Amino acid sequence: MNEAALPVPLPPRALLLLLLLLLQSSWGAPREGENPLRITPAWPVVRAGGSIRLNCSLSCPKEATVQWKGLDTSLGHVSSVPGLSVLTIPEAALSMAGSKVCISTCQDTTYQDTVELLVYAFPDKVEVSPSLLVPGQGATLVCSAREVSPHDRLSFAWYRGDEELRGLQALDEDLGPEQEAETGEELEVFWVTKRWALPAELVTAGPEFRCRVEMDLGHQAFSHSRAIAVISRMTSPAPSTLLPTTTTAAGPAPPSSVASTVKGHSSGPPEPPASSLTRGPGSSLPLTSNPGSGDPCLPKIFLSPMRGAGGGALELTCQACEPGTSVHWIRAPGRLADYQGQEAGARATLILHPGPLNWGLYQCQVEPGSQKTSCYLDKELLPETDGGNSSASLWTGGCLLGLILAAFVAYRLRRRLGAQGPPDAAQP
């Protein structure tokens, strides 16, 4: 065997140097076909008027040049150091949305990567109609989102409580650009309106109907909602029967709520079920009640005759169920400033007089917590005329009739005295 053909083993020191040279030649160098550029965030989303930073970096054994390119980068601020470039947009505009390009050079090799910037507008400007729903009566549900962009990322859904409402028939949809109020110039944002037919059998006493509008931006989703209360109208009771009452389904959260969610998940507080109360003759009328012992403590509304007031005046009272809270009336037919009343801590009152001017929806709110309760009053509780006014009219009519009779008697007496002539003169 030829020993000269055998390889000569390298000393350990030489093996270590050779290994270091191999590592240095390959350390940090991008593999063939691999893009070493890294852009964060990978899915940038920013609301109109907000700020965002886009980072573009490159791992390279030597100093690498990294730079954001494009005409639109002049709208922001670009700061670059070896291996890193930062594009800062302090106040994003809708026109800034689109592809952003980052270019870098490493060991005489040029790399390029892009990222899609999404700039959205989705304010809490959701509108619904009608303002009220009555059990057993169908309606056309209308839900609108104002000043939104992009409009093709919107989806609409109706809920009752935390369950999506089924059985609605989609009618039509309107879309148009928003306009400047003064100049009429078209803006970059849009309004979207959708309509549905609500069957009468789906309108029952219970939780509110809530329209939820979601904007899906891929890896992020945002939503707003607006609710419509279901109000039960009262019927005319016999004096000896129990009186059915108006109910409300207001939950602990305000009618409008906004949620930011990860795609595939949604949030929203469930609405408690509605309930009703009855009363016997001679007591004040509770128009609302707490839904149940396990539900949030909602304020109650009572209607009772006003003490020491004539003309059939009534007192509408909203009473909180927790001490240390404050109650305020937030809605009434006409203007609240035209009503007399008093707000004192957990109790607020309004003075009502019979007549159609006071027919309609009343709503009070408790702070803290913004819990709301509503009731609807119509001619069954506030008739067009009251007993006091009728008595006054009867008294006025009686006085007028007495004056007419007195004038008639005086006239007849004068006629009779005139027919008899003057008394005979004394004979001389």
Structure confidence by residue, pLDDT tens digits, 192-208: 999 999 999 999 888 88
The percentage of residues in the chain with a pLDDT greater than 70, rounded to a whole number, is: 63
Phi, then psi, of 293 in degrees rounded to 5 = -65, -25
Closest CA to 178 of 196, 151, 205: 151
Q: Lowest mean pLDDT: which of 12-21, 91-100, 185-194, 384-393?
A: 384-393
Model confidence band, residue 164 (pLDDT cutoffs 50, 70, 90) = very high
Where residue 226 falls among pLDDT bands split at 50, 70, 90?
very high
Contact indicator for 346, 322 with CB cutoff of 8 Å: yes
Domain with residue 222: its CATH number is 2.60.40.10
Question: Do 310 and 210 share a domain, yes or no?
Answer: no
Determine how many CB atoms are found less than 10 A away from the CB of residue 150.
18
- Which range, 70-74, 181-185, 187-191, has the best average confidence (pLDDT)? 187-191
Select, from the ranges 34-43, 219-228, 251-260, 322-331, the one with the highest average predicted confidence (pLDDT). Answer: 219-228
Quick one: 92 and 174 in the same domain? no
Q: Do residues 266 and 297 both lie within one domain?
A: no
Q: Is residue 403 part of a domain?
A: no
Q: Does the pLDDT value for residue 100 go beyond 60? A: yes
Higher pLDDT, 3 or 104: 104
Q: How far is CA 144 from CA 39, 128, 129, 158, 164, in A?
A: 37, 6, 9, 12, 18
1 inside domain = no
Given a cut of 50, is residue 411 above it in pLDDT? Answer: yes
What is the rounded average pLDDT of the residues 374-400? 56
Same domain, 126 and 263: yes
Please identify, among 274, 299, 329, the residue that sits at the C-terminal boundary of a domain.
Answer: 274
Q: What is the mean predicted confidence (pLDDT) over 207-215?
A: 94
- What pLDDT is attached to residue 267? 38
Show which of 98, 119, 140 is a domain's final residue: 119
In this prediction, residue 344 has a pLDDT band, given cuts at 50, 70 and 90, of: confident
Let me know whether 192 and 98 are in one domain.
no
pTM summary value: 0.54
Domain count, the chain: 3
Query: Rounded to whole angstroms, how far apart are CA atoms 209 and 215?
Result: 20
Which pLDDT band, with edges at 50, 70 and 90, does 64 fall under? confident
In this prediction, residues 116-123 reach a mean pLDDT of 94
Taking the C-alpha atoms of residue 117 and residue 129, their distance in angstroms, rounded to an integer, is 35
pLDDT of residue 142: 95
Band of residue 144 on the pLDDT scale cut at 50, 70, 90: very high
Contact predicate 221/166, CB 8 Å = no
Would you say residue 400 lies in a domain?
A: no
Range of the domain at 239: 121-274
User: Would you state the pLDDT for residue 155?
Assistant: 95
Co-location of 220 and 319 in the same domain:
no
The whole-number average pLDDT for the span 74-79 is 78
In a domain, 407, yes or no: no
Instruction: Clarify whether residues 229 and 241 are in a common domain.
Output: yes
Q: Identify the pLDDT of residue 21.
A: 47
pLDDT at 97 over 80: yes
Residues 320 and 327 sit within 8 Å (Cβ to Cβ): yes
Question: Is 380 within a domain?
Answer: yes
Claim to verify: residue 126 and residue 270 sit in the same structural domain: yes
* pLDDT of 328 higher than 70: yes
Q: Are 100 and 70 in contact (CB under 8 A)?
A: yes
Rounded Cα–Cα distance for residues 291 and 296 (Å): 8
Q: What radius of gyration do the chain's Cα atoms show?
A: 40
**Percent of the chain residues past pLDDT 90, beyond the cut:** 29
| Pairing mode, strands 132-133 and 221-230 | parallel
Query: What is the pLDDT confidence band of residue 419, given thresholds at 50, 70 and 90?
Result: low
The answer to whether position 128 is within a domain reads yes
Same domain, 203 and 289: no
So what's the pLDDT on residue 367?
Answer: 86
Give the Cα separation of 251 and 210 in Å (integer).
Answer: 12
Instruction: Say yes or no: 214 and 147 in one domain.
Output: yes
Backbone φ and ψ for 39, nearest 5 degrees, come out as -115, 130
What gap in Å lies between CA 374 and CA 332, rounded to an integer?
10
Q: Is 404 helix (H, G, I), strand (E, B) or coil?
A: helix
Please give the full DSSP string across 316-338, using - where no structure is assigned.
EEEE-SSTT-EEEEEE-SS-GGG
pLDDT at 113: 92
- CB neighbours of residue 420 within 10 Å: 7
The residue with tokens 């400007």 is: 125
Mark which of 95, 119, 143 sits at the end of a domain: 119
Same domain, 132 and 266: yes
CA dist 317 and 351 (Å) reads 9
On whether both 104 and 143 belong to a single domain, the answer is no
**In the structure, what pLDDT confidence band is assigned to residue 332 with cuts at 50, 70 and 90?**
confident
Q: What is the pLDDT of residue 108?
A: 83
Mean pLDDT of 365-394: 66
* Assigned token pair, 181: 């109020």
**Is the residue at 34 inside a domain?**
yes
Q: Is residue 21 part of a domain?
A: no
